[in-house]
């Protein structure tokens, strides 16, 4: 025996309308709570997967952008090292001036020894600064063996390769200031004990400054390229995010208006169902 309760066609129609309204309310509430009109592939497969692709590429570009930011810091560190080397070369020139002033004096051997010691001390500091201290995240562009490839897209089809240069005194061809003084205070070996030798060393310093200027220009060019790419990548990430948002984001104003309309429809549906049931309730008056 069937236990099915028979409903009138009017009641069945109103009940179906209420069920549909409740389903639409649930969908609208989900959109309002998440801010998305496409929450899964079931809502709209084309839009969902397209937006997922845009978001995935934006995440990949974000990682590349971070790598570009690190490369920028590496170049800035190298430029700081170049600035330090320039300052130290100026100090070396000062030592040469002192050596030149010592020539012709009775104590020239002692004075030249002091000037040479100071000169060689600065030479050591230059090598320490360029080969050891100008390092960022293990990368030092003041070393000729350094190369770094920075990718500009997720497929690594566009990139830039950054190369270092030898910022040591050997790489810059800076002549040393070796001096040895005999037992009587006389020079036994020296390369800054004549005006000509001092001039030659000064020429090597000027050449080193020219080399640093050239390398600094290369660093500046690479820095400009990286900064331009970084800015472009930020814009591209925004474009991808906007594209994904346009495909999946819900219009909260529209969804809010839809919710009000659904609530009104639900209220009317309940009233209509009540009216439809009155025909059945009228039978009770026969008893």
The token pair that represents 201 in the structure block: 């060393």
Contacts of 36 (CB under 8 A, 6+ apart): 248, 249, 250
Q: How far apart are CA 30 and CA 259, in angstroms?
A: 11
Paired strand residues for 30: none
Question: Beta strands of the chain (E only): which ranges?
Answer: 147-151, 159-163, 179-181, 187-190
Tell me the average pLDDT across 52-69.
95
Tell me the average pLDDT across 178-205.
64
pLDDT at 225: 96
Q: Between 13 and 280, whose confidence is greater?
A: 13
Q: How far apart are CA 33 and CA 21, in angstroms?
A: 18
Domain match, 262 and 166 both? no
Domain match, 157 and 269 both? no
Q: Half-sphere exposure of 226 toward its Cβ, with a 13 Å CA cutoff?
A: 26
Model confidence, pTM: 0.76
Domain match, 240 and 266 both? no
In a domain, 88, yes or no: yes
Residue 186 has pLDDT above 90, yes or no: no
In a domain, 5, yes or no: no
Measuring CA to CA, how many Å separate 159 from each of 57, 179, 225? 17, 49, 11
Mean pLDDT of the residues in the chain: 82
Domain match, 72 and 183 both? yes
Alpha-carbon Rg of the chain, whole angstroms? 40
Q: Tell me the CA end-to-end span of the chain in Å, nearest whole number.
A: 27
Domain match, 265 and 150 both? no
The string of pLDDT tens digits covering residues 134-170 is: 999 999 999 999 999 999 999 999 999 999 999 998 8
The string of pLDDT tens digits covering residues 226-283 is: 999 999 999 999 999 999 988 887 767 776 777 788 777 777 767 776 766 666 666 5
Domain match, 176 and 218 both? yes
Domain assignment of residue 260, given as a range: 253-279
Domains: count for the chain: 2
The string of pLDDT tens digits covering residues 19-50 is: 787 777 777 777 777 777 888 888 889 988 99
| Cβ 135 vs Cβ 77: under 8 Å | yes
Question: Beta strands of 39-182 (E only): which ranges?
Answer: 147-151, 159-163, 179-181
Domain match, 80 and 200 both? yes
Residue 97 has pLDDT above 90, yes or no: no
Tell me the average pLDDT across 205-212.
94
Paired strand residues for 147: 163
In a domain, 261, yes or no: yes
Question: Is residue 190 very low, low, confident or very high in pLDDT (cuts 50, 70, 90)?
Answer: low
The CB density around residue 96, as the number of other CB atoms within 10 Å, is 19
Domain match, 71 and 111 both? yes
Domain match, 131 and 260 both? no
In a domain, 168, yes or no: yes
Percentage of residues in the chain having pLDDT higher than 70: 83
- What DSSP line would sit under 81-97, residue for residue? HHHHHHHHHHHHHHHHH
Domain match, 135 and 272 both? no
Q: With the CA atoms of 203, 205, 207 and 211 taken in that order, what torsion angle do they form, in degrees rounded to the nearest 10?
A: 180
Domain match, 239 and 263 both? no
């Amino acid at each position: 025996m069937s236990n099915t309760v028979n409903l009138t066609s009017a009641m069945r129609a109103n009940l179906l309308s209420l069920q549909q309204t409740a389903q639409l309310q649930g969908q609208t509430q989900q959109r309002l709570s998440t801010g998305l009109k496409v929450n899964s592939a079931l809502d709209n497969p084309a839009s969902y997967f397209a937006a997922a692709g845009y978001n995935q590429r934006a995440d990949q570009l974000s990682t590349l952008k971070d790598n570009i930011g690190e490369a920028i810091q590496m170049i800035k560190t190298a430029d700081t090292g170049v600035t330090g080397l320039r300052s130290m070369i100026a100090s070396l020139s000062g030592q040469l001036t002192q050596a030149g002033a010592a020539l012709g004096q009775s104590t020239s051997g002692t004075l030249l020894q002091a000037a040479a010691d100071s000169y060689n001390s600065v030479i050591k500091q230059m090598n320490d600064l360029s080969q050891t201290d100008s390092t960022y995240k293990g990368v030092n562009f003041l070393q000729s063996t350094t190369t770094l490839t920075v990718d500009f897209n997720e497929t690594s089809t566009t990139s830039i390769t950054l190369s270092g240069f030898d910022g040591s005194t050997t790489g810059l061809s800076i002549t040393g200031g070796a001096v040895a003084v005999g037992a009587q205070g006389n020079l036994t070996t020296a390369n800054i004990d004549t005006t000509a030798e001092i001039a030659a060393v000064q020429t090597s310093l000027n050449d080193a400054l020219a080399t640093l200027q050239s390398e600094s220009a290369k660093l500046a060019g690479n820095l400009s390229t990286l900064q331009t790419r970084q800015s472009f990548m930020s814009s591209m990430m925004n474009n991808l995010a906007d594209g994904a948002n346009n495909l999946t984001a819900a219009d909260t104003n529209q969804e809010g208006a839809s919710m009000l309309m659904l609530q009104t429809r639900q209220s009317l549906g309940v009233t209509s169902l009540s009216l439809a049931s009155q025909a059945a309730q009228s039978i009770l008056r026969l008893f």
